[in-house]
C-alpha cells in the first residue's frame, strides 16, 4: 500500500467529485471518508467512518477501522497507518452557508472549527499533505463575514505542521447541488456567459470537477513551498 486519502465533506459538491476521482485514480489504494453519516455508496477502495467533527480529535482511527472491518479486508490499511508506511493525503471540502447553518455562530463552528479539528486529527494520524477548499476573496480582514471566516481558516491551517498545505480558492461553483441556493442560481445565470466566452478567468464560475482534479493534481506534485494558494483562474485549466 503506497498512498491513501482521508476525505471530509464527501456529500458536498466538490467532495462527491473528489471521491469519484480518487476511487478511479490508481495512485490511491484506499479512501477513508469521514462524515456525520455514511453515503449509499460502496466500493472496494472506500471505507466510510461516522464521526462528530466536534470531537473528532478523540476519534481512535485504528479502533474505528477495526469496527468496520468484518472480514479482515482492512488489515493492510490498519497496519500501513499504524506503521506509518504509507503516504497519507487529506482532502477537506467541509463548508456550509450562514442560511443553512441557521446562525453566524453555527456557521463559524462548521466552516472553521470542524475544518481545523479534521486537520489536526488527520495530522495526528499521519497525513503529510492537506488540501482545503476555501473561497475566492478569503481574507481574515474582509468585511464580508463569509470571506473573513474562510481567511481565518487558511491562517489557522498554516499553523498545523503539514509538509504541504494547498488552499484552493474557487469562484462560484457550478454543479448539481442537493440543496437549492437562490443567490447562487441567480449568480450562475448572470456569470455563465463568462464560462462560454472564456472571459475573466479570475471571476468566472468553475465546475466542481475542475476543483477536484486540481486538488488531486497538486497533492501529487513535488512542492518547494509549505503552503500555497491556488486561485480559481489556475483551476480553470483542469
**CA pair distance 96, 89, nearest whole angstrom:** 23
Helix (H, G, I), strand (E, B) or coil at 151: helix
**CA pair distance 48, 119, nearest whole angstrom:** 17
Q: Where are the domains of the chain?
A: 3-235
pTM of the model: 0.89
Q: Walk along the chain (238 residues) in steps of 10 and give the mean pLDDT of each run.
A: 94 94 96 93 93 96 90 90 95 94 96 98 97 96 96 98 97 69 44 50 84 97 92 92
**CA pair distance 236, 170, nearest whole angstrom:** 9
Q: Which fold has domain 3-235?
A: Rossmann fold (3.40.50)
Torsion over CA: 188, 193, 195, 198 (sign): negative
Is there a contact between 66 and 78 (Cβ–Cβ < 8 Å)? Answer: yes
Amino acid at each position: 500500500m503506497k498512498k491513501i486519502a482521508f476525505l471530509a465533506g464527501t456529500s458536498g459538491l466538490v467532495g462527491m467529485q473528489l471521491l469519484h476521482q480518487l476511487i478511479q485514480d490508481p495512485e490511491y489504494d484506499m479512501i477513508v471518508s469521514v462524515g456525520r453519516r455514511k453515503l449509499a455508496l460502496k466500493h472496494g477502495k472506500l471505507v466510510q467512518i461516522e464521526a462528530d467533527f466536534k470531537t473528532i480529535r478523540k476519534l481512535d482511527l485504528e479502533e474505528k477501522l477495526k469496527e468496520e472491518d468484518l472480514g479482515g479486508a482492512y488489515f493492510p490499511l490498519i497496519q500501513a497507518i499504524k506503521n506509518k508506511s504509507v503516504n497519507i493525503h487529506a482532502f477537506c471540502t467541509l463548508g456550509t452557508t450562514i442560511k443553512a447553518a441557521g446562525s453566524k455562530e453555527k456557521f463559524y463552528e462548521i466552516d472553521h472549527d470542524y475544518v481545523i479539528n479534521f486537520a489536526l486529527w488527520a495530522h495526528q494520524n499521519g497525513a503529510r499533505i492537506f488540501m482545503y477548499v476555501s473561497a475566492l476573496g478569503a481574507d481574515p480582514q474582509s468585511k464580508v463575514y463569509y470571506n473573513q471566516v474562510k481567511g481565518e481558516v487558511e491562517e489557522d491551517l498554516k499553523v498545523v505542521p503539514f509538509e504541504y498545505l494547498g488552499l484552493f480558492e474557487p469562484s462560484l461553483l457550478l454543479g448539481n447541488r442537493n440543496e437549492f441556493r437562490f443567490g447562487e442560481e441567480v449568480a450562475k445565470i448572470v456569470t455563465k456567459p463568462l464560462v462560454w466566452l472564456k472571459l475573466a478567468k479570475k471571476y468566472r464560475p468553475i465546475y466542481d470537477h475542475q476543483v477536484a482534479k486540481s486538488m488531486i493534481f497538486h497533492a501529487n506534485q513535488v512542492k518547494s513551498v509549505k503552503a500555497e494558494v491556488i486561485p480559481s483562474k489556475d483551476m480553470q485549466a483542469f
